[in-house]
Amino acid sequence: EAQVTQNPRYLITVTGKKLTVTCSQNMNHEYMSWYRQDPGLGLRQIYYSMNVEVTDKGDVPEGYKVSRKEKRNFPLILESPSPNQTSLYFCASSNGQVGYGYTFGSGTRLTVV
Amino acid sequence: AQSVTQPDIHITVSEGASLELRCNYSYGATPYLFWYVQSPGQGLQLLLKYFSGDTLVQGIKGFEAEFKRSQSSFNLRKPSVHWSDAAEYFCAVGDSGTYKYIFGTGTRLKVLA
């Protein structure tokens, strides 16, 4: 089944403790992206990657890092999480054609206390 | 700058009634337009998309949307709503120049039995 897999689904952590949210897709998609979803703000793009070793900032990149060492994986790293990064995070992938649209993961609900 | 506006934050309809969710966009060229649905606890699923051709597009789950260039709108419709349609709906525009997707803030649909 074609899918984007995120882990974990839920995570509670403390301020300053480094964490990684993993994302993997099995569709050989070139384009991958991370979004955060907050009430009233919709989805905001954090980082995206056009291909292996090619990443760029989205609209709200502060406090996040990403890497794209393999085509299928695109982990999101929070080096020193803060409470304002409490949010619902989505990974998404696409085949490189803007008209294709996204396939989304099921989301990761992160709480930073 | 490109933008997407969903004027209705919440909409409540009775089961069996018709539905129309509004979406207005701002984009310089011919846009790639999408509607996604997010069921509770799930990721976003692509309902339908439009780039060119027939301005009335059919999607999954019995949804359709009509592109109206003169009104910069891409409204989502369904003739008869089912209780399982209760979800949040997002309109998005894809920018072929930057390869970015801009999402609206979403409309939450409640269905009354």
User: Could you read off the pLDDT of A70-108 as tens digits, one per residue?
Assistant: 999 999 999 999 999 999 999 999 997 888 889 999 999
CA distances from A85 to A13, A76, A105, B111 (A): 11, 12, 19, 32
- Please say if the pLDDT value at position A1 is more than 80: yes
What pLDDT sits at residue B53? 85
Distance of alpha carbon A82 from alpha carbon A79, whole angstroms: 10
| Minimal Cβ distance to B43: which of A33, A90, A98 | A90
Q: Taking the alpha carbons of B90, B91, B96, B98 in that order, is the dihedral positive or negative?
A: negative
What pLDDT sits at residue B99? 79
What pLDDT sits at residue A99? 82
Q: Taking CB atoms and an 8 Å limit, are A105 and B43 in contact across chains?
A: yes
What pLDDT sits at residue B2? 81
What pLDDT sits at residue B103? 93
What pLDDT sits at residue A61? 97
DSSP 8-state secondary structure symbol assigned to residue B29: S
CB-CB neighbors (< 8 A) of B43 in chain A? 4, 90, 104-107
More confident residue, B30 or A12: A12
What pLDDT sits at residue B96? 80
A71 vs chain B: nearest CA distance in angstroms? 18
More confident residue, A46 or B43: A46
- Please say if the pLDDT value at position A47 is more than 90: yes
Contacts with B62 (C-beta within 8 Å, 6 or more apart), sequence order: B78, B79, B80
Query: In the numeric block, which tokens belong to residue A96?
Result: 């490189």
Distance of alpha carbon B18 from alpha carbon B79, whole angstroms: 4
- Name the band, by pLDDT with cuts 50, 70 and 90, for residue B29: confident
Kindly report which listed range (A38-42, A84-88, B71-75) carries the lowest average pLDDT score. Answer: A38-42
What is the average pLDDT value for chain A, to the nearest integer?
Answer: 95
More confident residue, B100 or B49: B49
Q: Taking CB atoms and an 8 Å limit, are B43 and A43 in contact across chains?
A: no
| Minimal Cβ distance to A42: which of B43, B100, B103 | B103
